Amino acid sequence: MRAQVGIIGAGSAGLLLSHLLHMAGIESVVLERQSRPYVESRIRAGQLEWGTTELLKQAGLGERMVREGMVHRGFILVLDGHPHRIDLADLTDGKTVTVYGQNELIKDMIQARLTAGGTLVFDAEITRIDELDGDRPIIRFTHQGECLELECDYVAGCDGFHGISRQCLPAGSFREFTQDYPVAWLGILAKAPIFSRELVYSPHEQGFSLFSMRSPELSRAYLQCAPDEKLVNWPDDRIWSELHHRLESADGRTLCEGPIIDKSITTIRSYVVEPMQYGRLFLAGDAAHIVPPSAAKGLNAAVADAAVLSKALKAYYGRGDREQLANYSTNCLKNVWQQQNFSCRMTRLLHRFDKLTPFERQVQRSELHSLIINRCSSVAFAESYVGIPWAASVIPL
């Protein structure tokens, strides 16, 4: 097989990159280790920044998102049992976020690529990536029991934190920055009507909780728990009891219960690799960075990576300009560290950490209250929430 760009991973970064390259007349092949049904059913966060939704619409990928996505002009912050609304649209000159399941977005992208005649190979197990220092990298993989090769000009590693792409970086060619947090999230998806049309964040004394949604009849919720917690200790009755206790506030709204169709525990960490490139290999999305889920920035950071890389490849294939490719990592990392900064801040603000002193807890409460009473604080927070300004500047095609 031969392609100008070989893309490893059919997640949001890989599929979007392939689509943007197609729009620029650049040929790519996407290799994905999992099956198509598995990829399309993975439950992931689904909060899209303003810049992300604008890019998807410009790229012709937003028709179903616009029709079915839930536009949020604000969110609810519950403090001391009282709800306070943060008006994002008012604080950011009309910008909003959209809740649209990441698995639904993946379905849209896969269909768009197949409709356009793109090459997507599922159940492709990557075994090696050779010649990254040369002019023709080779991706070796197995598919349906056959050993195959994909020769390309460039390789985009979009295969997640545990993928092979980052493992192919030579020792000493990169640095890793990590931060582990002493908390985890128990997440559920339930067939239950939503009790709020906007997200509800509750930094409760028993632990943080978050109410989200995937549709008016499909609720998504999270509970702070210990990193070593086991799902067996969380039967459905206990989950609902804790959600009622932590989320419900003095306004009288009652959380609606329903069958829980998915539950999982996610540890919380930050991770960044620098640089995000080596030779002819470029890392994007979770292969290069992980953010805490508190601010729902992971998908959006992956989208920004794909946008930057597609523009760099377009400059090279269109006019022979290699400068943007050379600066890919530098350009992406500006956004990545901004996303890390905001995600870490939200994690620190919202969670109850056992090791905090009484003084530190009061400082934490004070900062949360400043989001309500101090408009300057609210504006800065809201702008990062709907999309860090630098990220928006690189997204237009």
Q: What is the pLDDT of residue 313?
A: 97
- Tokens 């620098």, residue located: 274
Per-residue model confidence (pLDDT) at position 273: 98
Residue identified by tokens 């609210």 is 378
pLDDT of residue 141: 96
Q: What is the pLDDT of residues 129-147, one digit of tens each?
A: 999 999 999 999 999 999 9
| More confident call, 42 vs 107 | 107
Query: Do the Cβ atoms of 152 and 29 come closer than 8 Å?
Result: yes
Q: Which of 148, 153, 113, 162 is nearest to 285 (CA)?
A: 162
Q: What is the pLDDT of residue 395?
A: 46
Query: How far apart are the C-alpha atoms of 161 and 213, rounded to whole Å?
Result: 26
The encoded tokens of residue 239 equal 């989950």
**For residue 390, which amino acid is it?**
W
Instruction: Output the CA angle 209-214-215, nearest 5 degrees.
Output: 125
Domain boundaries, the chain: 2-71+98-179+269-353+389-394
Query: What is 31-72 written as a DSSP string?
Result: E-SS-HHHHHH-----EE-HHHHHHHHHTT--HHHHHH-EEE
Identity at 52, one-letter amino acid code: T
Where residue 127 falls among pLDDT bands split at 50, 70, 90? Answer: very high
Of the pLDDT bands very low, low, confident and very high (cuts 50, 70, 90), residue 249 is confident
Q: Is the pLDDT of residue 250 over 70?
A: yes
Predicted local distance difference test score (pLDDT) of residue 100: 94
- pLDDT value at 359 more than 70: yes
How far apart are the C-alpha atoms of 397 and 383, rounded to whole Å?
A: 22
The pLDDT tens digits for 74-120 are 999 999 889 999 999 999 999 999 999 899 999 999 999 999 999 99
Q: Please give the average per-residue pLDDT across 286-313, as a whole number.
A: 95
- In angstroms, the CA 53 to CA 64 distance is 11
- Would you say residue 296 has pLDDT above 70? yes
Residue 43 has pLDDT above 80, yes or no: no
Q: Please spell the DSSP secondary structure of 62-115, one letter per residue.
A: -HHHHHH-EEESEEEEEETTEEEEEEHHHHTTT--EEE--HHHHHHHHHHHHHH
392 or 372, higher pLDDT: 372
Report the distance separating Cα 294 and Cα 267, nearest Å: 12
Residues noted as catalytic:
72, 201, 293, 297, 385
CB 87, CB 258: distance < 8 Å? no
- Position 305, amino acid: D
Which band of pLDDT confidence, cut at 50, 70 and 90, is reported for residue 392? Answer: very low
pLDDT at 396 over 70: no
Q: What is the DSSP string of 299-329?
A: HHHHHHHHHHHHHHHHHHHHH---HHHHTHH
Q: What is the mean pLDDT of residues 42-70?
A: 92
- The pLDDT score that the predictor gives to residue 252 is 78
**Average pLDDT for the chain:** 94
pLDDT of residue 42: 83
Distance CA 46, CA 65 (A): 11
Q: Would you place residue 391 in the very low, low, confident or very high pLDDT band (cuts 50, 70, 90)? A: very low
pLDDT score for 253: 82
CA pair distance 208, 351, nearest whole angstrom: 5
The arithmetic mean of pLDDT across residues 199-221, rounded, is 94
Question: Per-residue pLDDT for 360 more than 60?
Answer: yes
Specify whether domain 2-71+98-179+269-353+389-394 bears CATH 3.50.50.60. yes
